[in-house]
Structure 1
Amino acid sequence: MSALAEWVRAGRTADVVGLLDGMTDAERRAHVPELKALRKELRAEPWSAGSRRAYPALHAAGAACQTGAAGVAAWLAAMDMRWSQASPGLVIHLLGDRAPEWLADVTHRLAERPESANVSYELMAGLVRLSGCPVPTTDAYVRGWVSHIGSTWQRGDTVLDRLRRDPHLSELVAALFVTDDIGSRLEWMPAEGPNSWTEALARLTTEGMLDRGATIDACVARLLRGGGSSDLRLFLRLLKTLDLTRDEERQRTADWLALASDAVSVVASHAQSVLGALALDGGLSPRQLAEMSGAVLFRTEKKLVRAQLVLLGKVLTREASAAEELLPAAALAFGHGDSDVQERALKLVERHAGKVGSRDVRAELATAVEQLIPTLRARATRTLGAAPVAAEPAVYEEVLPPAPERWRLAPPPESAAELAEEVGAWLASGGDVAAFERTLDGLMRHAHRDRDSLVEALGPVVGRLWWATADPQHVRWNDHFSDRPHGLDLVLATLLGRISVDALHVEGRRGRPTSECVHSALSRAFYARIRDVAHRIHTDPLPFLLSTPTWNTGLLDPDELVTRLDTYRQLGARPSATDFAQALLRVGRQDRGSAAAAAERAAKLGTAEGTWLARWLTADGPALPRDRRRTSGARILVEFGELPELQEDFPEEFRPLGRPVSVFREHWHCYHWDPAVRQHWLALLPERRELVAARILRDLSTVAVEDTRGEAAVLPLLAEGDGEAGEAVHLCLAYGLGARYPEDRLAAVDALLVLAARGQLDTARLGAGLGQLVRRGAVKPLRLAESARTAAATGANATIWGMLRHTLPVLLADLATDGTAVAARGLGELIGVVAECAERSGARGELPHLAQAAARRGSSRLVAQARRLQGTLTVEVAA
């Protein structure tokens, strides 16, 4: 090893530089191979003390010994040395004797590297000065420049001072406007003062160091281009700081029109204010103002729409001659989704309609009236001469999505290799009930048929799991496999011999836990079957599982179960008690004809299981226990009484399913935190979803009461299930509709529409429950209004009206008694949604306490929407 390599390894950077300074290019090139070998050696242990000591010297020596620009740039930006580099000054010293063209090539190659390469800005800037090349304007260089300028507060300097002295100010500032996400880096700097980028750039523009016109154009162009919120905030603030003159604003009228139409709200608001000032100063023609209005009035932001209507009113007051161009533009707001906006637009048109002489314009206004809500349309017939409201409203047709159809599970793969692939897919991303049950049945079938081939096929799939390679002494039941949602792990670990028969036997004999939570009954029954399946794989594999569902919801066809029992009888197989118990809970009994026919076949099998199945299929059921509502803080929960049929003859692990559900006697905080397991609980009792809903009701309530996320994902599955949709199911849905996060509300809307499409939605029960939850503070009116509006937008206006017509009286009752409302905030929005649904569905009639709310003084949104709803429900159709 040469002296250079030894000194590099020792981290003697100063000696390395002295040695390199005395070498020729050829001598330096001769050391490249051993430096590469040393780099490869250090790469094996990059964070060792020796590597950290050697890397700065290696970084400098390798750059000095390379003679090609590409090789030097690649060495300096190498990933393995990015955290232990030589100082920029040292590298510049070693490269200082190279030709300027060569240095410029290295500089631009380094600047083209991504910012994540961690190339020092000081190094690149030093090479620019040394080579005299044009300054790079790449993303990495501009970001490095911004960070360099912004760190001046540590040196007693200011951003303004450093920018003034920068020889490449114009080029780099121009590049600043086209660099994505630069605002996130600059927003950490002060918004005001000499260290504020926006004030510094504005000051330099005033001083003439930056071209004012070019800077303004760059700001506007960046706002037109769009981008992240931090970028838009930065450049909008700079544009405001530049304080444009009226002439400068007028020159960019087309840009302001484009921004008002399509930019994000805060930028559009600024453009609107600029255009408004121009319009009032006569700098905007009526045609341009009409064009602007046509775009702004279609925006969803009510603030922008209302401001535009105010602007139109001011211009019309000053220029009567503009009415024929501006009023049709104002009438575009007649189709806005907010009734307040419609009313403002109608008032504006009514106020200035007399200034219109053209019959064509009046006809255009009369046609636009058709977009107004019924109460405003009736008024417009009198004031604008529009066509009267039809004597009979059009017949409304409710649009609901088609009820989801259940589908049959496919049989498990025939080969062990195919099954292993499905197991790998399950372990990688999980799956639904159908995938889990199909895979579980396949594991049992192949274990019964040829366990050795199955184990061989599974080896590569499970080899990455920690328990597959861990010391068997460390693979303990309670560490990983007890009460976990991923039950396949236990079965796979059993197949591969990582869980002993003794461990399974001991866990199977354990008594009921001393600390029960509301989910324990579901969890114990689910895992008892998984544990029993694993035990039978070890001791006496079954030919197949009796309880594998026929349908994706978890339901098992009764005739299919009889056929499976008959096959067991012919093979002399001994059923698993828990597997058969699960099969009984899944077998369909709602179709009494099919159940009776299957019972007759089962009775003829002559086996104990056949007799039990025949008795089960002919019994009354599936029954639900007596229930009652209970309150807990802001929540409304459900308690269930005892269900004896789930305790008689069933294995011990299944009997808690028939025991009472108590709000106050059972623990609510437990380890059943993974929402993925709830789909399996629903498949445990596919015809008794009400029992499952009661046990997960408190979990669902947290999305509204505690603003948790993701708990409502189970709601569509709950809606697709079978059995009665009672108090618990509807309360689960109510909490979901009031969830904090949009994805949870959307899941609740999906569930609501599914229940409605299946004819299982009790709108009166749901609406009254929502009223109580809103009144108790568990559900916020604004969130409920968003959910209801989303559901109504699909075409379910009558459904939402039928639901909320039972919610509003509960909330309006307080207004009728003492003049206050517990949930007044957002109540106006909720009434507005009800009014929309009533208008679209043609609802008529009376709503308790609505008249009193509509008769209140003032023009608040609550009162305005109450009057709108009252007018809709009692509107007299014009002759």
Structure 2
Amino acid sequence: MKIPVSGRPAAPSGAWDAVRAAVQQEDAAATAALVARLTDEERREVARELPGHLARLRDPGRGRSIWSADANLGWTEAMRIAGAGTIAGAAAVAAWLCRRDFRRFWQEPDDVPYILQVVAGRPAEWQADLAVRLALRLRGTDDDSSRSVRLAVELLRRTGTEPPAHDPLTLAWIAAWPADPGDAPLLDTMLPRVFSAEGVGRLLRGDEERPARLAALAASGRISRALLLDGCVSRFLRGGTAADLRFFVRLHEALAPSAGEVAERRRDYAALLPAAPANVAELALKRLRALGGPEPEEAREAVEGLLFRAEGKLVRAGLIWLERLVRDHPGDLDGYAPALATALMCETGEARDRAARLALKHAARFTPDGAAAIRDAVALLPPGEGVALAEAFGGDPVPAAPESRFASDPLPPVPEPAPMPAPVATPAELLRLRPSDADWLSTERWLDGFVRLAAGVRQALTEALVTAAGLLRVRDYWRRPWWHPELWATAMAKELGDPGIERRTAESVLDGDRPATVEERIPEAGHTKLSLRMPLRRYAEVYQALIDGALPPYLLATPTHLSGRLDAGELVERLEGYERDGGEPLPVDLEQALLRLSRTAPAEVAARAARLTSEAGRAVARLLSGERAEPRVELRWEEGPNGPRVRPVVSWDGTGITVLEGEMPPTRPRETLGPLLPVLAAHRDVAASLTVDTLRSCAPYSTPEADALTALVTAQGPAGPGMGLLAAETLCLGREEAVPRLLELAASGGLGEETGRQLAALLRDDETRWEYRSYSPAGVLRALEELARRGAHREVWEVMAGLLTVYLPGPGGRATSTHTRMMRLAADVAGWAGARGALEPVAELAGRGRVTGLVREARRLHAVLTA
């Protein structure tokens, strides 16, 4: 942001009056011109007045919102310029320029040229002192304003002063790099410091362009190629994380050092192999390999360094190199015995197996002294691995542990949901209930009580609801929609006490508009949660039946349990009463009853249902006979503004349920499981799927409700993607209370292959976040193992089968230690569960020729599944 340049100021009589007037006009150019012409005495006069005037300027802006604060800070640049040109000491000027009072919240106008103008007349030593002091005040963080950095660097450049050895100055200088580093001021002085200053790697870790440009500058001779190479290697030797060294790795590779340049630094590259981060060690290994022909002693040291690593790729490279050295060495192999012993101590079974085969192949080429190193390692091998080596070299191998018999506790019983309270029996009891969109139980009981009392004691009910009826205003009939159950209840009370009021009002006109119909007062599906819209539709249906004089004696859908479940025997009994009395079910009420209908029923209840003759009775009989078509549930992962999100898609085609057609549009308010499950008590996976979008719709992501799994346990219906994702998310979060709840879910049939598939989706999504990952695969596997050992081994096997099918790397894919640990747990659990039936991805891995830890575990699992 540039400051407008004014014309030559008309100076008032006094120096301070003139400067104050320019400041008041927020005219930086005029202030600079005035200050540049002041005498020494006038400068001292202005300098004395500045602190007091700053306090007067600052006070009116106190307490302002940061959104509007800059509107009151237009004077700051003029005040900075005035102080820089009149305050005597360099230290005082530096303190003045860095005052927080002058900080803008948003854009900072560029006053650097004016400050350079007003200090240009100061002595050279004074300017150099100011340059150093300003540089030392930099902190190398976002708190440094860009103009502070530009001013310090430009003063250093103009005065020719040696920049102070101050890491924050280096960071600030880097942050202000132009697109072409060759245009950066002080390049020759500051560039060597890039390789030594703390924090540079973190600042530049995402920079992918400047390495190539620096290499191009080196190729043109503008900067020293040796400086860049030595700087990179010295930075590698100092250590750091892989991320913080990423920029220097890119720069090194952009320089592409020649064989001669690598040879000059051979010892340094070799020193990087044992402990440098993997990306640096791989770089060093590549350069040393390309060099070829190292001295035997150097080669042995390099190999031993690689074999100390934890990364399988580097250990594998070290073993391949060791194999070549052993093959080409003419004499005994005692010099390589320490390297082989190190390889036998590797963490990965693949490396140990390869080292053991190499040692056995060349056992005859070791003298007793060399064999002793191998013999000492035998006793340290895992159980069962050192038998063959002991036969060749001696030693005491650890015997394989006897296979222990698996024993687990039984799964906990599935808790039975608590029963509903007794139906409302009197008008006085009904008055104590308040239907509310925040309390599904009170809303449900009020509607049931109203219908029953209207059929049994209508006059008493009418009298009891007189006060409630008076709360409905005439204008309410024109409102649309009616969002809350209370308003519908008030309208029912009004219609009960004044029959026909709805129809009479429908013939009225208010402000040229007719009243809304009952149907128009129901909120649209796209604007209302299903957990609220279904109760509102039932209230509207009962209200319309009251208007039409067709109110039934009782409702069908009122649940028998607090979970929302409706016992089959109770629904059959209600339908028998309807058929006996000639009653007609209300359509929405009937389908709500079917959505809640228990999935289990005694044979006697099913037989009674089969004898029902009404259409509603036949629908219930079909469900109880086992002819229940399930809705299709799909979870679609889509890219949203805050990353991937999950969108549920549910189809009720072929289920006989029509009341939910159009009730689940793609854009709708987000649901929570607590109030939704009572609506879908027999379809818990549908309920779960309609709530999972809340897990991945914002940053940071929300988490499953604390009691969500417990609620799912007491609901009914097969498990599917929705429950799978909720269970998988619970596993990933790793909470202590998760395992007991997952055990209950397993007992209810809620854990299965779909949980594994959704777990794979979560872990893969999390892997894309790199250092911002939220989940621990190791923690997930520990939780699954605990579940298996506590009785859910069959269910955990199904989870592992679903997980492996999706998560394992295919041909050409990169395997990690996480895959190996998963396969190891799957092999254990499959044995515990007595699982049978080959899995294609496991069979493919088991058939690979190259033996790795993953392949070894895949073969073990495949043997269990095909036994």
User: Shorter-chain-normalised TM-score: which range?
Assistant: 0.5 to 0.7
TM-score (norm 1): 0.57
Counterparts of 2:37 and 2:674, CA distance in 1: 74
Q: Does 1:261 align with 2:275?
A: yes
Counterparts of 1:131 and 1:504, CA distance in 2: 84
Query: Residue in 1 aligned with 2:231?
Result: 215
CA deviations 1:97-151 (Å, max 9, x no partner) are 3344543443233221345342344422343355554313445543454466525
Read off the aligned partner of 2:18 and give its amino acid letter.
A
Query: Residue in 1 aligned with 2:284?
Result: 271
Kindly indicate whether structure 1 or structure 2 has the higher relative contact order, using CA contacts under 8 Å at least 6 residues apart: 1
Please say if residues 128 and 156 of structure 2, whose CA atoms lie closer than 8 Å, have aligned partners that are also in contact: yes
Read off the aligned partner of 1:761 and give its amino acid letter.
A
CA deviations 1:3-23 (Å, max 9, x no partner) are 222233335555434432332
Read off the aligned partner of 1:585 and give its amino acid letter.
L
Counterparts of 2:33 and 2:265, CA distance in 1: 62
Query: Residue in 1 aligned with 2:178?
Result: 150
Classify the secondary structure of the residue corresponding to 2:522: coil
Q: Does 1:313 align with 2:336?
A: no
Q: 1:40 aligns with which of 49, 58, 61?
A: 58
Read off the aligned partner of 1:306 and give its amino acid letter.
R
CA distance 1:694–1:174, change in 2 (3 Å): same
Counterparts of 2:777 and 2:794, CA distance in 1: 11
CA distance 1:744–1:134, change in 2 (3 Å): farther
Read off the aligned partner of 1:169 and give its amino acid letter.
D
Q: 1:395 aligns with which of 392, 404, 408?
A: 404
Query: Residue in 2 aligned with 1:669?
Result: 666
1:330 positional shift: 1.6
CA distance 1:679–1:344, change in 2 (3 Å): farther
Query: Residue in 1 aligned with 2:294?
Result: 281
Please say if residues 835 and 864 of structure 2, whose CA atoms lie closer than 8 Å, have aligned partners that are also in contact: no
CA distance 1:268–1:631, change in 2 (3 Å): farther
RMSD: 6.3
CA distance 1:186–1:303, change in 2 (3 Å): closer
Q: 2:118 aligns with which of 78, 88, 94?
A: 94
Q: Does 1:173 align with 2:198?
A: no
Query: Residue in 1 aligned with 2:338?
Result: 325
Q: 2:836 aligns with which of 847, 850, 857?
A: 847
Read off the aligned partner of 1:116 and give its amino acid letter.
D
Q: Does 1:522 align with 2:494?
A: no
Query: Residue in 1 aligned with 2:418?
Result: none
Query: Residue in 2 aligned with 1:585?
Result: 562
1:256 positional shift: 0.7
Please say if residues 781 and 823 of structure 1, whose CA atoms lie closer than 8 Å, have aligned partners that are also in contact: no
CA distance 1:813–1:837, change in 2 (3 Å): closer
Query: Residue in 2 aligned with 1:613?
Result: none
Q: Does 1:20 align with 2:35?
A: yes
Counterparts of 1:354 and 1:725, CA distance in 2: 69
Classify the secondary structure of the residue corresponding to 2:703: helix
CA distance 1:104–1:348, change in 2 (3 Å): same
CA distance 1:110–1:745, change in 2 (3 Å): farther
Classify the secondary structure of the residue corresponding to 2:632: strand
Counterparts of 2:70 and 2:786, CA distance in 1: 68
1:631 positional shift: 2.9
Counterparts of 1:639 and 1:14, CA distance in 2: 70
Query: Residue in 1 aligned with 2:822?
Result: 833
Q: Does 1:135 align with 2:151?
A: no
Please say if residues 628 and 638 of structure 1, whose CA atoms lie closer than 8 Å, have aligned partners that are also in contact: no
Q: Does 1:106 align with 2:130?
A: yes
Counterparts of 1:105 and 1:400, CA distance in 2: 78
CA distance 1:91–1:396, change in 2 (3 Å): farther
CA deviations 1:764-785 (Å, max 9, x no partner) are 87445468x69xx996997899
Query: Residue in 2 aligned with 1:578?
Result: none
- Matched positions, count: 652
Counterparts of 1:232 and 1:583, CA distance in 2: 69
Classify the secondary structure of the residue corresponding to 2:631: strand
CA distance 1:342–1:515, change in 2 (3 Å): farther
Query: Residue in 2 aligned with 1:67?
Result: 88
1:848 positional shift: 1.9
Classify the secondary structure of the residue corresponding to 1:113: coil
Counterparts of 2:649 and 2:26, CA distance in 1: 70
1:672 positional shift: 3.1
Q: Which has the larger radius of gyration?
A: 2
Counterparts of 2:682 and 2:803, CA distance in 1: 28
CA distance 1:865–1:256, change in 2 (3 Å): same
Query: Residue in 1 aligned with 2:382?
Result: 370
1:746 positional shift: 0.5
Query: Residue in 1 aligned with 2:444?
Result: none
Read off the aligned partner of 1:631 and give its amino acid letter.
R
Q: Does 1:718 align with 2:708?
A: yes
Classify the secondary structure of the residue corresponding to 2:178: helix
Q: Does 1:304 align with 2:304?
A: no
CA distance 1:63–1:329, change in 2 (3 Å): same
Question: 1:676-687 alignment to 2 at 5 Å?
Answer: 677-678=672-673
Counterparts of 2:251 and 2:740, CA distance in 1: 47
Counterparts of 1:170 and 1:256, CA distance in 2: 28
TM-score (norm 2): 0.58
CA distance 1:48–1:702, change in 2 (3 Å): closer
1:174 positional shift: 1.8
1:329 positional shift: 1.5
Query: Residue in 2 aligned with 1:648?
Result: none
Query: Residue in 1 aligned with 2:268?
Result: 252
Question: 1:638-787 alignment to 2 at 5 Å?
Answer: 666-673=663-670, 677-678=672-673, 693-700=685-692, 713-714=703-704, 717-721=707-711, 723-724=713-714, 727-728=717-718, 731-736=721-726, 746-747=732-733, 753-755=739-741, 758=743, 760-761=745-746, 766-769=751-754
1:360 positional shift: 3.8
1:325 positional shift: 1.5
CA distance 1:680–1:381, change in 2 (3 Å): farther
Counterparts of 1:751 and 1:168, CA distance in 2: 58
1:667 positional shift: 0.9
Counterparts of 1:763 and 1:311, CA distance in 2: 55
Classify the secondary structure of the residue corresponding to 2:275: helix
CA deviations 1:840-859 (Å, max 9, x no partner) are 88659673236994799653
Please say if residues 673 and 687 of structure 2, whose CA atoms lie closer than 8 Å, have aligned partners that are also in contact: no
Counterparts of 1:199 and 1:508, CA distance in 2: 85
Q: Does 1:3 align with 2:31?
A: no
Counterparts of 1:823 and 1:522, CA distance in 2: 46
Please say if residues 237 and 272 of structure 2, whose CA atoms lie closer than 8 Å, have aligned partners that are also in contact: no
Q: Structure 1: which 5+ runs fail to align?
A: 153-158, 407-435, 438-477, 485-500, 529-580, 591-619, 642-658, 815-820
CA distance 1:241–1:725, change in 2 (3 Å): farther
Q: Does 1:58 align with 2:43?
A: no
CA distance 1:368–1:790, change in 2 (3 Å): same
Counterparts of 2:745 and 2:71, CA distance in 1: 72
Classify the secondary structure of the residue corresponding to 1:97: coil
Counterparts of 1:869 and 1:120, CA distance in 2: 64
Read off the aligned partner of 1:197 and give its amino acid letter.
L
Please say if residues 386 and 398 of structure 2, whose CA atoms lie closer than 8 Å, have aligned partners that are also in contact: yes
CA deviations 1:248-291 (Å, max 9, x no partner) are 4333267414xx4352x322322344566789612655763464
Please say if residues 630 and 639 of structure 1, whose CA atoms lie closer than 8 Å, have aligned partners that are also in contact: yes
Classify the secondary structure of the residue corresponding to 2:197: coil
Stretch moving more, 314-323 or 779-788: 779-788
Please say if residues 174 and 218 of structure 1, whose CA atoms lie closer than 8 Å, have aligned partners that are also in contact: no
Q: Structure 2: which 5+ runs fail to align?
A: 1-15, 416-437, 440-478, 495-517, 538-557, 568-596, 602-622, 637-647, 768-774
Read off the aligned partner of 1:630 and give its amino acid letter.
P
Query: Residue in 2 aligned with 1:125?
Result: 153
Please say if residues 673 and 708 of structure 2, whose CA atoms lie closer than 8 Å, have aligned partners that are also in contact: no
Higher helix share: 1
Classify the secondary structure of the residue corresponding to 2:340: helix
CA distance 1:313–1:202, change in 2 (3 Å): farther
